[in-house]
Amino acid sequence: MNPPCYPAENVPLQGRYDRLPEESAVIQHTTVNMTPEPPKDHIIWSLCCFLYSNPCCLGLAALIFSIKARDRKVAGDLEGARHYGSTARCLNIWATVLFSITVLIVIIITIVICTLLYQQTQAIRDRIRTSPYDFNYRG
């Protein structure tokens, strides 16, 4: 069954109003109830720090504080949850920074060692080429 076809309506514009007339202006007040945002427990970040970057057991401590923050949030103690969540965030930041610094130091040390080994092998090859002894002697 096809829907009925209606003719198109053409309504001419009566005029353009940039603003409402003074007598018809109505002021409306809107009240918005701002409920405080529930505190964050940073549980995912704590799990990642615990599993992948756990320097000085900071990831474990952050995970414990995240779990405490979640428990406080469920119990309805939002201030306690906020405190535990803030502590977990600080511990996560420290764990992430220490892990990042450690990774950077390891990368730099690896590059330096590889460069030194390459230079040493080149120096040994140069000595062998200029050696007065013939190591390719076949008698």
Q: Could you give the number of structural domains in the chain? A: 1
Q: Examine residue 115 and state whether it is found in any structural domain, yes or no.
A: yes
Q: Which domain holds residue 60?
A: 38-128
Tens-binned pLDDT, residue by residue, of the chain (139 aa): 666 666 666 666 666 555 555 555 556 767 776 777 888 999 999 999 999 988 889 999 999 999 999 999 999 999 999 999 999 999 999 999 999 999 999 999 999 999 999 999 999 888 887 766 656 656 5
Name the residue type at position 101: I
Let me know if residue 69 belongs to a domain: yes
Using the CB atoms, write b or e for 46-72: b if 16+ within 10 Å.
bebbbeebbeeebbebbbbbbebbbeb
In a domain, 17, yes or no: no
Confirm whether 112 is domain-assigned: yes
Asked, for residue 103, whether it belongs to a domain, the answer is yes
* Whole-prediction pTM: 0.63
**Does 22 fall in a domain?**
no
Residue 78: exposure state from Cβ atoms within 10 A (0-12, 13-18, ≥19)? middle
